[in-house]
Structure 1
């Protein structure tokens, strides 16, 4: 397989990776400051170009690349609750290995940033009514929207794994495993209310439902468009991804000193924990770009260093 075709397959793979994460981000996610970059580098604001795995990539057996994937809309079902998704931005660094495997590096602040959103029905919908006296007492106090509102934020809890670039150019094949947890925030829930944990995360395994449209540009190391540029950027748009194989753990850490009573109420009302096959995500209109050296072997063994230097030269 040629370097360009292998890169195209990898980008398609990452499309599903990003959009799958997008589904959870739609339930809400944290914001973060980003770097501004020139030209064709512009979308890659958080690429971890200085991660050891990328810097060490030689360009022969290991090819370094930057990937960004965004999704504008979709939906996700967790147990009995369905949430409409919002815009997300997933960024990772990828080292494509000669044996066909890939190594993923995440930005220091986590791979995912997305628009925050609220849980439908708020706290009343999440745990009320309840036959637990302490929870019923809380339900009676929810008299205005500020007390009822729940913000849900997706958090990455590890680096993606099981990355299969071949699956990225196919349909109905698992592409990657992505561990996440969801932070539920409301005055009555306290600050440590999560669905999923670092040790027991929700693990998404997205699949393509259709193949994206393909485009490619060439540019100089500083991001300037140029047909004779030493860098390439592949753009994939319009794909839809889905996954119904992930299990969802129960909520934990919820409630201000109520010894798990709110956990129990939330889990009972929302149908958590929820086994694989009872949950689903669908992501629409994804946009994914991958940037890397057009001929990485020509700068071996310093391909990773050259990629990093190019990215830094484009910073405004």
Structure 2
């Protein structure tokens, strides 16, 4: 395949998936999984699932494997009446580009998202107080100036992404991908199973570009060393703003020892469940990188295996 054609294909894929994945900067995971340190141009891709069977099976002809990482330093998400400011986020996935134009997203075994936890403004006082429920009123009285008031929110994937539209990634105002998630609310009084959204009834985010990202490209050897004649290509995108205001948010479940009452208090104060149009996700800036074989057709049917070998050769 000519190099120009390959560059165009990489650019399209990177823009599409990168802008879509940046939406996960909305909230962070409480524990950060990290991969090995990698050399050179491979450095950002430390959690790419290159050893996943779907990635390894990509032949380079009908299926082309790629690694994608999207990072962000800030953003916000509004769920009902509550808005949470976001922190640092690192999202990594593998992508298999199919010959028919569709794509398959592959998450690392440890999960795609690693990020700083987000603090809920006002803590429990802001989340469920005041309340006209006597039991909740008693709890509220104990929270003022208490360390028990602090609450963090963690976004978790609950199922595979779907409805991935490659064309939407290079345009604006078109949904790029559907991402089912739930939000874990963490505080000693809420217990371990307090969630907004569930595996069976998740929040489904459908991000879209508000602008076009800037584009850069480099070539490198399998071990990550920059080389204009290298067998690997990397796309760098300076993030465009992204937004989704179309998703609905279900009510909180599983919160506290007296689950029913605390769920009721949280939902009443937060305005949940919240219909589509009342919620919003904004990502101020996303930095996205994509790595793939420059000419995957030259290593058919072993493109996935070669990508994995190259990745492992870059481990320091």
TM-aligned CA deviation for residue 76 of structure 1: 1.1
Please list, as runs of the form range in 1=range in 2, the aligned pairs for 1:152-171 lying within 5 A after superposition.
Answer: 152-171=153-172
| Deviations 1:204-262 (CA, angstroms, capped at 9, x unpaired) | 10000001000000000000011110000000013110000111111000011x14100
Q: Which residue of 2 aligns with 1:24?
A: 27
Q: Root-mean-square deviation (CA), in Å?
A: 1.2
Q: Which runs of 5+ in 1 are unaligned?
A: none
TM-aligned CA deviation for residue 143 of structure 1: 3.3
Q: Which residue of 2 aligns with 1:136?
A: 137
SS in 1 for 2:147: helix
After alignment, is 11-20 or 123-132 more displaced? 11-20
Q: Which aligned segments of 4 or more residues in structure 1 are displaced greater than 4 angstroms? A: none
Please list, as runs of the form range in 1=range in 2, the aligned pairs for 1:167-186 lying within 5 A after superposition.
Answer: 167-186=168-187
Q: Which residue of 2 aligns with 1:68?
A: 69
Q: Which runs of 5+ in 2 are unaligned?
A: none
TM-aligned CA deviation for residue 182 of structure 1: 0.8
TM normalised by structure 1 equals: 0.97
Please list, as runs of the form range in 1=range in 2, the aligned pairs for 1:216-255 lying within 5 A after superposition.
Answer: 216-255=217-256
Between the two proteins, the alignment pairs up a number of residues equal to 313
After alignment, is 152-161 or 218-227 more displaced? 152-161
Matched residues in 2 for 1:145 and 1:294: separation? 56
Decide whether the 8 Å contact of 1:130 with 1:265 is kept in 2: yes
Decide whether the 8 Å contact of 1:21 with 1:178 is kept in 2: no
Decide whether the 8 Å contact of 2:27 with 2:153 is kept in 1: no
Matched residues in 2 for 1:177 and 1:259: separation? 30
TM-aligned CA deviation for residue 29 of structure 1: 4.3
Matched residues in 1 for 2:33 and 2:11: separation? 29
Q: Which residue of 1 aligns with 2:292?
A: 292
TM normalised by structure 2 equals: 0.97
Please list, as runs of the form range in 1=range in 2, the aligned pairs for 1:197-208 lying within 5 A after superposition.
Answer: 197-208=198-209
| Deviations 1:39-74 (CA, angstroms, capped at 9, x unpaired) | 000000100001111100000111000000011111
The question of 1:283 aligning with 2:301 is answered: no
Matched residues in 1 for 2:32 and 2:41: separation? 23
